[in-house]
Amino acid sequence: MRTLVPFAAVDPKTRLGSVLTADERAAFARVMLRSVCATLQQAGYEPTVCSTAALDATTLPADTAVVVDDRPLTTAVNDELTTDTPTLIMMADLPLATPESIRRLTAATDAVGDAVDIAIAPGLGGGTNALVVREPAFRVDYHGASYLDHREIAADLDATVRTVDSRQLATDIDEPSDLVEVLIHGDGPVREWLLDAGFELDRSDGRVGIRRR
Amino acid sequence: MRTLVPFAAVDPKTRLGSVLTADERAAFARVMLRSVCATLQQAGYEPTVCSTAALDATTLPADTAVVVDDRPLTTAVNDELTTDTPTLIMMADLPLATPESIRRLTAATDAVGDAVDIAIAPGLGGGTNALVVREPAFRVDYHGASYLDHREIAADLDATVRTVDSRQLATDIDEPSDLVEVLIHGDGPVREWLLDAGFELDRSDGRVGIRRR
């Protein structure tokens, strides 16, 4: 299955600006991107990163292709959906993703009996974190509540949709509170990066938070 | 499998106080409780509600047992874990739970080869939303980052733990922003209750929020 990982290379993760400097945000976004690509490879896929700017060769795992496309996310992805090749589109900020959760997503289009045209792993808050498209006429719209939009777009095409129940794929890292999930559940280089940057869980209160040394 | 649903009957869901009155919070918590019990029954389980106060008979689906125990959550649950009967403990604020997600949790203790002693469906933020206990010496501690605590307690007992990857079980409804998930993904009486109370998705901004008419 063709596998795309869109990546915003310039000034990424602005909503982490209260806890990370601009340089740190750029570095952290790249560590997450590398993690997603490596996990996809472990799951048996060959990701192509669609980056809005050129990337250092050291940013990505070996054998990861990069295409540079500085157009908006929705435009760039739709330009890739004009063939009938089944395509997996996975966001670059999903460090909790595992090979198993990715395989559950891609297996969702292989339903017993009827084939499923679209499989969606929604993000918290109505986004679309990962998506499998087997319907050539389908187009994405990543603005706003894209999960609902994608269901509507599929319904207009009489395309069948399956929603995948994965916390790991639902947890995109956008805001400081999301870092808690990485510190609790992460086990790879993204968690290591946060620890090296001085982040730790704050368990002093009833709710778990983060603090930085 | 013995199935327990702890329920805080008095002044529940205080963190929803900015959008719901005290009476509404009491009603909404009970609609969620009823939904969880009905979903457990659909999954083939017979839930017993451990409520901190007596409940109206109309609150629960038919054939749901209730025991009243006004002690703190951790104490009340641990008192039920003194036998070697496998036990499922599911929180009452999980309206997105489905029979399938519950079965994935309970099946997690039936691993191929080695049996698994403890299966956990973590909540966002480090809580423990649903738990299967097959190790008689295991005790819960629901305060704070209970997911991490429960892993440590299991490790001290040399008990094996499996963590279940479910967004539906991870989404406990505590804060106004959590209501977004119910409006987006819910399909039952809990979503209906919110719609009847005037809540709707606010898709006017880039992020999806809620507003009340």
Contact between A67 and A50 under an 8 Å Cβ cutoff? The reply is yes
Inside any domain, residue A181: no
Q: What is the pLDDT of residue A36?
A: 98
Residues with Cβ within 8 Å of A156's Cβ and at least 6 positions away in sequence, in order, are: none
CB pairs under 8 A between A and B: 84
Question: Per-residue pLDDT for chain B (213 aa), expressed as one digit of tens each?
Answer: 999 999 999 999 999 999 999 999 999 999 999 999 999 999 999 999 999 999 998 999 998 999 999 999 999 999 999 888 999 999 999 999 999 999 999 999 876 666 899 999 999 999 999 999 999 999 999 988 999 999 999 999 999 999 999 999 999 999 999 999 999 999 999 999 999 999 999 988 767 899 999
Inside any domain, residue B83: yes
Q: Which secondary-structure segment (H or E) carries B128?
A: strand B128-133
Inside any domain, residue B194: no
Inter-chain residue contact A148 with B124, CB threshold 8 Å:
no
Which chain A residues are closer than 8 Å to B122 by Cβ? 167, 184-185
Q: What is the pLDDT of residue A112?
A: 62
Q: Which domain holds residue A124?
A: 2-169
Q: What is the pLDDT of residue A65?
A: 95
Q: What CA–CA distance (Å, rounded) separates A121 from A88?
A: 11
Inside any domain, residue B43: yes
A126 touches chain B (CB under 8 A): yes
DSSP of B39-80 = HHHHTT--EEEEESS---GGGS-TT-EEEE--S-HHHHHHHH
Q: What is the pLDDT of residue B113?
A: 61
Q: How confident is the model at residue A101 (pLDDT cuts 50, 70, 90)?
A: very high
Q: What is the pLDDT of residue A111?
A: 63
Q: What CA–CA distance (Å, rounded) separates B23 from A137?
A: 49
Domains in chain B, number = 1
Q: Which secondary-structure segment (H or E) carries A76?
A: helix A73-80
Inside any domain, residue A200: no
- Provide the pairing of β-strand B2-7 with B87-90: parallel
Q: What is the pLDDT of residue B57?
A: 83
Q: What is the pLDDT of residue B144?
A: 84
In this complex, the residue of B147, B163, B184 whose CB is nearest that of residue A147 is B184
Q: What CA–CA distance (Å, rounded) separates A51 from B61?
A: 52
Q: What is the pLDDT of residue A166?
A: 98
Inside any domain, residue B162: yes
Inter-chain residue contact B126 with A180, CB threshold 8 Å:
yes
On the question of pLDDT at A114 being above 70, the answer is no
Within its chain, how far is the Cα of A202 from the centroid? 26
What is the per-residue pLDDT across A43-56, written as a single tens digit (0 to 9) for each?
Answer: 999 999 999 999 99
Q: What is the pLDDT of residue A156?
A: 98
Q: How confident is the model at residue A33 (pLDDT cuts 50, 70, 90)?
A: very high
Contact between B26 and B12 under an 8 Å Cβ cutoff? The reply is yes
The answer for B 62-121 residues in CB contact with A (under 8 A) is 98, 100-101, 104
Which chain B residues are closer than 8 Å to A169 by Cβ? 167
The answer for A 17-56 residues in CB contact with B (under 8 A) is none
Distance from CA of B56 to the nearest CA of A (A): 30
pTM of the model: 0.96
| CATH code, domain with A59 | 3.90.550.10
Inside any domain, residue B197: no
In this complex, the residue of B143, B177, B203 whose CB is nearest that of residue A144 is B203
On the question of pLDDT at A113 being above 70, the answer is no
Q: Which long-range contacts (CB under 8 A, 24 or more apart) does B200-209 make?
A: B201/A126, B201/A145, B201/A148, B203/A144, B203/A145, B203/A148, B205/A144, B206/A143, B206/A144, B207/A125, B207/A144, B208/A125, B208/A126, B208/A144, B208/A145, B208/B180, B208/B184, B209/B177, B209/B180
Q: What is the pLDDT of residue A207?
A: 75
Residue type, B76: A
Q: List A211's β-bridge partners, or say none.
A: A200
Contact between B92 and B32 under an 8 Å Cβ cutoff? The reply is yes
Inter-chain residue contact B207 with A125, CB threshold 8 Å:
yes
Q: How many CB atoms lie within 10 A of CB A147?
A: 22
In this complex, the residue of A125, A126, A180 whose CB is nearest that of residue B125 is A180
Q: How confident is the model at residue A138 (pLDDT cuts 50, 70, 90)?
A: very high
Q: Which residue of B has its CA nearest to A147?
A: B184
Which chain B residues are closer than 8 Å to A208 by Cβ? 125-126, 144-145
Which chain B residues are closer than 8 Å to A124 by Cβ? 124, 167, 171, 181
A45 compared with A111, residue with greater pLDDT: A45
Q: What is the pLDDT of residue A5?
A: 98
Q: What is the pLDDT of residue B110?
A: 78
ipTM of the complex model: 0.95
| Average of per-residue pLDDT across A149-172 | 97
Inside any domain, residue B187: no
Q: What is the pLDDT of residue A83?
A: 86
